[in-house]
Structure 1
Amino acid sequence: MPTEIEGTHQIGDISLYTKSWKPDGPAVAKVIFIHGFSDHMNRYYEFFPTLASRGIEVHGFDQRGWGRSVHNPSQKGLTGPTSLVISDIVSFIKTQLPSTIPVFVMGHSMGGGEALILASDPQYADLMKDIRGWILEAPFIAFPKGFEPSSVTVFFGRLAGKLLPHMHRYSPLPPENLTRDPEVVQSLKDDKLCHDTGTLEGLSGMLDRTEHLNKGIAKLNPGVKSIWLGHGTEDKGTSYEESKKWFDRQTQVEDKEFKSYEGWYHQLHADLPQDRPVFAKDVGDWILARVGDSAVKSKL
């Protein structure tokens, strides 16, 4: 059985909750995981233990403003600007470097968009040599059709984000749109750590990141080696179509794979129980195929 380890990562006066899943034997790879909006590291069901059972360590943290990194109500959704969001992620990644085994960065939804912004930021170009691959689960590159905010809402949202950055805004994601599993839907409704509350600054920053990605303003650093992107065709949280368009534009990356999950919803790791092992196997197979060590052959 994989070993689960809880801890904290201190950045200035902020203490961020961390959790790791480690295999029984020697690890052959590491995954640094970035969770989504109104999400936390303990909501990924059997996905992380499954990876760990195949020799892949998983390390993640509840981001500033989310999950167990919120210590009082005023901190809900208090992510700060994008520069702080990305520097937090980099700070956590560096706790796993240098590494004797390959390191992969994976993000879901909002976290997938953040991973791509990091991979595109010239400030962190030197970090690319340390990341063997980038794994994206339904990344937030754009809103799905029919769920886009109006241009007026976006304009005034960005303006308010500058004038009242720390003001809270309740921005619920309907659980029924995230997964086809009724038990997961109910657990999302019951989970008090999924507070669905952002700050105007944080929400504005998220809108800016999606615009930079879907309009091609953010361009991947030259050192990005490999990309895997998985998306459900019936995703009601982020846009399957825009994910595919973004992926197809990355012609400079030779090692890349786009995986369509026909009929699946947004949380590929927590969709129908019979489908979750398929997703976990796909991700694990892709990672192990890039480790290049004979020790992993028995895990493939």
Structure 2
Amino acid sequence: MATENEGTFEVNGHTLYCKSWLPNGPTKAKLIFFHGFSDHLGRYYNFFPSLAARGIAVHGLDQRGWGQSVKKNADRGLTGTTSQVLADMAAFIKPHLPSSPSDPPVFVMGHSMGGGQVLTLACQPEYQDSIVRPVRGWLVESPFIGFSPEEEPSFLKVFAGRLASKVLPHFQLSHTIMVEHLTRDPAVQKSLAEDALVHNTGTLEGLAGLLDRTAALANGQTRPLPGGALRSLWVGHGTKDKTTWFDASKKYFDEFTGEVADKEFKAYEGWYHQLHADGPDSEEFYKDVGDWILARVEDDTAGPKL
């Protein structure tokens, strides 16, 4: 069981919707979560309650431009630059970080676009001491490190979009992802199509920033830094993902995460993009994430090994 609390988070003059799923018993760990493109916290089904039932408190927010943080149509997709996106994330994470050794360890997770953001934040030099080092582990679900072949835009479209973003940064552009590419579950597909908060609208500035972050991850320009600040990393991706590309995630993990001592890549054979909402199999994903987090909590509390 879990207790759900809704609220708001103030950052740089903006009010963002946030929600927490809290254990009814002792809190063993905290998970800070960031959703994907045209997504919101209300779309994660039993994932967060299942973690809370195991003693993992979950805290998330609808990012700028998405979900219940949108107050008017002009706000849709208005995420700001990459520096703004990362600053928002860091500001939300910081109050949850441990202030004493007895506080529960903190983990940070992102899905899809949010997964790319989480990896990007974890690799920025300016956040290594203030954010990355105090976080016990980082997790990404179907991270956006490359387009799937089904969603790959043309070079001309990308070039034109980047050029236009310099002139009309807040110009809104619709980018609809086929619901059949997101999940194998017909009920979830129907829910996605009918969800008024799933608006599929980005700004040219926001979309250009998203593409830049993705390219930097794909070519290894953005990677964990030496020094061990990023202690642990978990990556989960479906092999039949038709939205973000499984091969790009695997390549990033294999070639660019050598500085991470504790890491795991889980391939979900035949699964689509939303591992958290891909039918009855999703219970396996819930368990994998919970098991990975709690194993590191136990490692930290077991004391010295003889």
**Shorter-chain TM-score: what band?**
over 0.9
Structure 2's unaligned 5+ residue stretches are: none
Q: Deviations over 1:193-244 (max 9, x none)?
A: 0000000000010000000000111121331000000000000110000100
* Amino acid across the alignment from 2:117: E
In 2, Cα distance between equivalents of 1:75 and 1:269: 27
What is the match of residue 269 of structure 1? Answer: 276
What is the match of residue 15 of structure 2? Answer: 15
Instruction: Output aligned runs, 1:85-104, within 5 Å.
Output: 85-99=85-99, 100-104=103-107
Instruction: Output aligned runs, 1:35-114, within 5 Å.
Output: 35-99=35-99, 100-114=103-117
What is the match of residue 234 of structure 2? Answer: 228
Q: Residue 104 of structure 2: SS of its match in structure 1?
A: coil
Matched, 1:253 2:257: no
Counting matched residue pairs gives 295
Instruction: Output aligned runs, 1:170-249, within 5 Å.
Output: 170-222=174-226, 223-249=229-255
Shift in Å, 1:152: 1.5
Contact 1:128 1:221 in 2 (8 A): no
Q: Deviations over 1:31-52 (max 9, x none)?
A: 0000000000111000000000
Q: Residue 257 of structure 1: SS of its match in structure 2?
A: strand
Contact 1:51 1:280 in 2 (8 A): yes
Contact 2:150 2:243 in 1 (8 A): no
In 1, Cα distance between equivalents of 2:138 and 2:291: 14
Shift in Å, 1:292: 1.9
Matched, 1:282 2:280: no
Contact 2:98 2:104 in 1 (8 A): no
* Amino acid across the alignment from 1:121: Q
Q: Deviations over 1:53-98 (max 9, x none)?
A: 0000000000000000001110000000000011000010012123
In 1, Cα distance between equivalents of 2:136 and 2:60: 17
Q: Residue 30 of structure 2: SS of its match in structure 1?
A: strand
* Amino acid across the alignment from 1:154: V
Identity score, percent: 58
Normalised to the residue count of structure 2, the TM-score between the two structures is 0.94
Which residue of 115, 119, 138 maps to 1:116? 119
Instruction: Output aligned runs, 1:128-143, within 5 Å.
Output: 128-143=132-147
Instruction: Output aligned runs, 1:145-160, within 5 Å.
Output: 145-160=149-164
Larger deviation: 258-267 or 5-14?
A: 5-14
Contact 2:8 2:17 in 1 (8 A): yes
In 1, Cα distance between equivalents of 2:224 and 2:301: 32
Q: Deviations over 1:233-266 (max 9, x none)?
A: 0001100001000000112212100001011000
In 1, Cα distance between equivalents of 2:98 and 2:287: 27
Structure 1 stretches (4+) deviating beyond 6 angstroms?
A: 293-296
Larger deviation: 206-215 or 97-106?
A: 97-106
Q: Residue 289 of structure 1: SS of its match in structure 2?
A: helix
Contact 2:32 2:108 in 1 (8 A): yes
What is the match of residue 24 of structure 2? Answer: 24
